[in-house]
Amino acid sequence: MIGVIYHHDARHDKRQGLSRVLTGVHGMARSSRAEVAGRRQAVLDIAARLFRERGVEAVSVAEVMAAAGLTHGGFYSHFASKEALAAEACGQAFGRGCTRWEGFAAAADGEGFARLLEYYLALAHRDAPGQGCAGPTFLAEAARDAPGGAVRRAYAAGIGGLAAAMERLLPASVKRRRRERALLALAALVGAVSIARAVGEDPLSEEILLAVRAELSA
């Protein structure tokens, strides 16, 4: 019987071992990047809620990081400054609001505008600023920001997005001056909710919401 001689290639084993190591390293790197992105998004989500509830000045970076379960020192690995965080939180809040409005606009029955009024001018929206539209909640922050400031730019872009969505939301019966009427409706909604929140529990608060809803529905 002729024996078979097997030649063991040590270099092949080394290459396989190195390949496994590199695969593991790349996998850990992807996992690490995903974890970092997840932590950053958590900070952004919490900041967007707290800033809308209490205002940017009243909320500290340490408070945001603690609410996210992270240390204060880790903040600057995610954001350059508190202003940068506020601007991005403002933009995210507007973006989600635009998505909601576009959903109303896509209603097949043509009742999107009526549904927007029902949602926006409801007491539930008035009483939950942390989950509500960025228009009223970031209004004062943008107004106080310096000309060309990051928050002001984010606010202007967000209002522009809502105005465009409002043009699509207006009833088909509105044939002329849709842009002007969209801006009028947007200003009425943001103004009504802002004043209603400022008035608080006074009966005038609900009266304002009902009056604006009736006028825009006419």
- Classify the phi-psi angles of 55: left when phi > 0, otherwise alpha if psi is within -120 to 50, otherwise beta: left
Measured between alpha carbons, how far is 90 from 133 in angstroms, rounded to an integer?
10
The pLDDT assigned to 64 comes to 96
Cα dist from 57 to 52, 137, 197, whole Å: 11, 13, 18
pTM, two decimal places: 0.82
| pLDDT 10s digits, 94-120 | 999 999 999 999 987 889 999 999 999
Which ranges of the chain have pLDDT less than 50?
Answer: 1-2, 4-6, 21-22, 25, 27-28
Structure token digits, residue 116: 């927007």
Q: Note the CATH number of domain 10-217.
A: 1.10.357.10
Structure token digits, residue 100: 């909601």
All structural domains of the chain with their residue ranges: 10-217
- Classify the phi-psi angles of 7: left when phi > 0, otherwise alpha if psi is within -120 to 50, otherwise beta: beta
